A and B are shown apart, each in its own frame.
Chain A
């Protein structure tokens, strides 16, 4: 018993060091989305490609799909852009865009210049749908499985590694 008391501080200290070290490795920039296992939220916004067309949740209907939050002012979005184009070409997934707090003309110009991986983009000038999705910075990508349920969310550039690790598992 007496020995235990003398060792106790060392044991507690070691435990603390190990615990804190394990926390260091955690990526705090990836917040867990509250929307995982939920339906896509309702919305009522215009189409980027045509401001006279109003889109709702029902228009995102070809599952499985990813919804990619992007903008022309977002540098990281350009980094992931080629991968989105590649996905469109090589996989069966449907890609929808959510154009986030952007200028319509600039956005259309970018798609014209760099290629358009999206079936269509929802034009969210105020960021209202983005707020309902819990978006806190572009780019963000949501995965919707064949039942129309959100299964994953990634904050930051969508890369082949992220795709394999976080998204593919939900598509089987």
Chain B
């Protein structure tokens, strides 16, 4: 029994040991900040910008060389005390609005921003029209039946 327990522990340690090596604790030192607010801002910014190479992931989620360079550049800018707007300007002047996950409100993006509301209003109008039609049909049918019954009553007097 003792031997079995020992063996189990030994086996488990083999499984767990490699996991411990991959502990992401080291990753934090890559971009050290003295100021906690700036660190939070930095991490949020990395989520706000898109990697230009692997276009479906944010900078923070990308390991492409260009994403690493941009992370480092943003790190420098945040450390230098730059505002979010200044960092956004720096990036869009080089990589265009594409780098923003939240596109700006401008003539080329009106459809994107207003489109959903237009569709909402349109579909509501459609539903209303449909409803009113149904009601009208229903009302007509009721009237018809009423007339028939009146006729029936009259004949049965």
- Chain A residues close to B by CB (< 8 Å): 1-2, 5, 8, 28-29, 31-34, 101, 127, 131-137
Question: What 1/0 mask marks residues of chain B from 68 to 109 whose CB sits below 8 Å from any chain A CB?
Answer: 011001000000000000000000111110100000000000
Query: Besides A34-B92, A131-B73, 14 other CB < 8 A contacts?
Result: A5-B129, A8-B126, A31-B96, A32-B96, A34-B96, A101-B65, A127-B69, A132-B94, A134-B52, A134-B96, A136-B53, A136-B95, A137-B53, A137-B66
In the complex, the answer to whether B73 meets A33 with C-beta atoms within 8 Å is no
Distance to closest chain A CB from B52 (angstroms) = 4
Residues of A within 8 A of B95 (CB): 31, 34, 134, 136
Interface residues of B, dominant DSSP: helix
B117 interfacial contact with A, CB 8 Å: no
In the complex, the answer to whether A5 meets B96 with C-beta atoms within 8 Å is no
A5 in contact with B94 given A28-B55, A131-B73 (CB within 8 Å): no
Report Cα–Cα, A8/B129, bound state, in Å. Answer: 12
Q: How many A-B residue pairs have CB under 8 A?
A: 41
Distance to closest chain B CB from A52 (angstroms) = 26
Residues of B within 8 A of A131 (CB): 69-70, 73, 94
Distance to closest chain A CB from B106 (angstroms) = 14
B133 interfacial contact with A, CB 8 Å: yes
Residues of A within 8 A of B55 (CB): 28-29
Chain B: which residue is nearest A1 at the CB level? B129
In the complex, the answer to whether A133 meets B94 with C-beta atoms within 8 Å is yes
B31 interfacial contact with A, CB 8 Å: no
Chain A: which residue is nearest B67 at the CB level? A136
Report Cα–Cα, A145/B129, bound state, in Å. Answer: 58
Question: What 1/0 mask marks residues of chain B from 107 to 136 whose CB sits below 8 Å from any chain A CB?
Answer: 000000000000000000010011001000
In the complex, the answer to whether B93 meets A136 with C-beta atoms within 8 Å is no
User: Quick one: which of B55, B64, B65, B94 has the most chain A CB within 10 A?
Assistant: B94
Which residue of A2, A31, A135 is within 8 Å of B98 (Cβ)? A31
Distance to closest chain A CB from B133 (angstroms) = 6
